[in-house]
Amino acid sequence: MDKMKPKPAHIDRRSFLRGAGAAIALPFLESLNIARPLLASNQPDGTPMRMVCIGLNYGLYPGDFFPSETGRNYKLPKLLQPLAHVRDDFTVFSQLDHPGIKGGHEAVHTYLSGIMSNKAKAMPEGNITVDQKAAEFVGSQTRYPSIPIGIGGGSISWTRNSVEIPPISKLQDLFDALFQETPESKKRRLATSYKLNSSILDVVRDDAAALKKRISKSDTGKLDEYFTSIRQVEQRLAQSSAWLSEPKPKTDYRLPRPVPTDFYYEVPLFYDLMRLALDTDSTRVLSCAINGWGGDSGLPGVTQGYHFLTHHGQDITRLKQLSIIETFHTRQFARFLDELKRAQASDSESLLDKTIVLFGSGMGNASSHSNRDLPLVLAGGGFRHGEHMSFPKSGPRQTPACNVFVSMLQRFGLEIDQFGTSTGTLEGLT
C-alpha cells in the first residue's frame, strides 16, 4: 500500500529560520563576509565612520538619568555625572521611544529596530537593527562586517530575516578573533571554516528544496525569503578566500591571567577590546548587549541580583545597590569615550570624531516593565553635541526613537530617509 502523501506542513517563519538556518547567522560564519580590503571610504575625507551600539538589558533608573533642564546648560543628573568631562561630546535624549511597543523584557529586543520580531514580516526590511543596516553598508571592506558582543548573554543585533545574531560572550574568544593566529592555524581554520560552512549551505539548500515540495502556497514566500538568505551567504563565502592571506593586526595588549569572569572586571576589558577592534579597523560596526551575571558580580557593595534590584518598588536599600550598578555602567561608558577621544583616526580627528556611539536600552523603566521613554545617549560621530534634547509626546506628532537611527545611518554614509518606524531625521544634531 502506497504511503499517503503528507499534508502541507505549517511552518513558523521564526522557528524555521532559527532551526534550519541558524548557522547562517552565527558570528563566525558572518565573519566570513570578507574580501580584499578596499581603499574606498564612506566619508568624503577618506576616513571611514564607525558605529558602536551599547544596550543595557535592564535600562536605567529614570529618576537618576533624565535631566530636569533642556538645552546646553542642563544640570547633569547622578548617572550622567561620570560623563561631565566629555559633556560636549554627547547628547542625551528624553521622551523618545518606539511607538506602540510594549511587553517589558519581551520587547527589549526592539531597542535598535523599533520592530517586534513577530511583526517583522509586515516591514520592508523586517526587524533589522541599525547596527546590521550599517554592517550591510560596510560589506566586505573589513575582516568582520560587524561584531556582536553579549556580556552576560543575549544579543541586541537582528538580521533582516528576523534572526537574532548570537553574540561573542567570552573575552578570550573576542581577543582570538581580533588578534590570535599562527600561520599554520590561520590557513587551517579559515580553510576548514570555508569548507564546513559550504557543506552546511549544501545541506540546508537540499533540505529547503525538498521541503518546498511539501509546503502550502501560503508558505512559499517564507521559503523564498530563506533561499535569498542562502544566496547572500554563498556570495559572502565566495569572497572569503581573499582574506586567507591577510594577516591579523598585531597588538601589545594582553588579557590578564586568569581571564576574569566577574562582571566588575570583565566589562572594562570588553570595552578595551571594542576600542582595539575599531582602532585596527578589524570592524567598523560593534554591538554590545550588557545583561546580568551568573555568579558574584564582583561589584563592591552589591549583594543581590541585578534583575531583582531593578524591581525596587522605591525601596531605598535596593535603589542604593542599583545605583552602584548603573553608575558603574556610565563610568565604563565614559572611560570608553575617553579612550576613543585619545586615539587618532586621522591627522586632525580623533577616533571618537569618527565613531557614532549609542548608549541606552529598549527598557524605559524595569521596575514597571515599561518600554516608554527610553534612556538614550548619542556620542561622537561628528554630531553637534552638548545638549539635553527633549521631544514631548503630542499625539500623532510623537518623535520616534528611530529618527535617531536615521540620523546615525546618514552620518555613517547611507543615503536613506527611512528606517524602522522613523518619520524623518532628528533635528538639531547637525
Whole-number CA gyration radius for the chain: 22
Residues spanned by the domain of 369: 37-180+253-412
Residues 138 and 276 in one domain: yes
The answer to whether the beta carbons of residues 426 and 406 sit under 8 Å apart is yes
Which range is least confidently modeled, 78-82, 226-230, 368-372?
A: 226-230
Residues 165 and 277 in one domain: yes
Query: Would you call 245 exposed, middle or buried from its count of C-beta atoms within 10 A (0-12, 13-18, 19+)?
Result: exposed
The answer to whether the beta carbons of residues 419 and 409 sit under 8 Å apart is yes
Q: Is residue 419 part of a domain?
A: no
Q: Is residue 429 part of a domain?
A: no
Convert 39-52 to b/e letters by CB count within 10 Å (16 or more is b): eeebeeeebbbbbb
Residues 13 and 105 in one domain: no
Q: What's the pTM?
A: 0.81
Residues 235 and 315 in one domain: no
The predicted structure's pLDDT at residue 265: 95
Pairwise pLDDT comparison (196 vs 229), residue with the higher score? 229
Q: Is residue 134 part of a domain?
A: yes
The predicted structure's pLDDT at residue 31: 35
CATH number at residue 351: 3.40.720
Q: How confident is the model at residue 195 (pLDDT cuts 50, 70, 90)?
A: low
Q: Is residue 418 part of a domain?
A: no
Inter-CA distances, 218 with 18, 399, 424, Å:
19, 36, 34
Q: Which amino acid is at 84?
A: A
Helix and strand counts by DSSP (H, E) for the chain: 11, 7
Number of domains in the chain: 2
Q: Is residue 282 part of a domain?
A: yes
Mean pLDDT along residues 324-345: 97
Residues 100 and 206 in one domain: no
How far is 147 from 270, CA to CA, in rounded Å? 12
What does the pLDDT look like over 376-414, one tens digit per residue? Answer: 999 999 999 999 999 988 766 789 999 999 999 999 999
Q: Is residue 422 part of a domain?
A: no
The predicted structure's pLDDT at residue 226: 65
Would you call 55 helix, strand, or coil by DSSP?
strand
The closest of 152, 148, 118, 120 to 132, measured between CA atoms, is 148
Mean pLDDT along residues 170-177: 94
What does the pLDDT look like over 364-379, one tens digit per residue? Answer: 999 999 999 999 999 9
What phi, psi does 114 have (nearest 5°)?
80, 5
Block residue for cell numbers 535617531: 404
Mark which of 247, 267, 293 sits at the end of a domain: 247
At residue 256, does pLDDT exceed 50? Answer: yes
Mark which of 226, 247, 268 sits at the end of a domain: 247
Pairwise pLDDT comparison (358 vs 16), residue with the higher score? 358
* Best mean pLDDT range from 215-229, 305-319, 374-388: 374-388
Inter-CA distances, 110 with 57, 66, 120, 198, 211, Å:
11, 21, 11, 32, 31
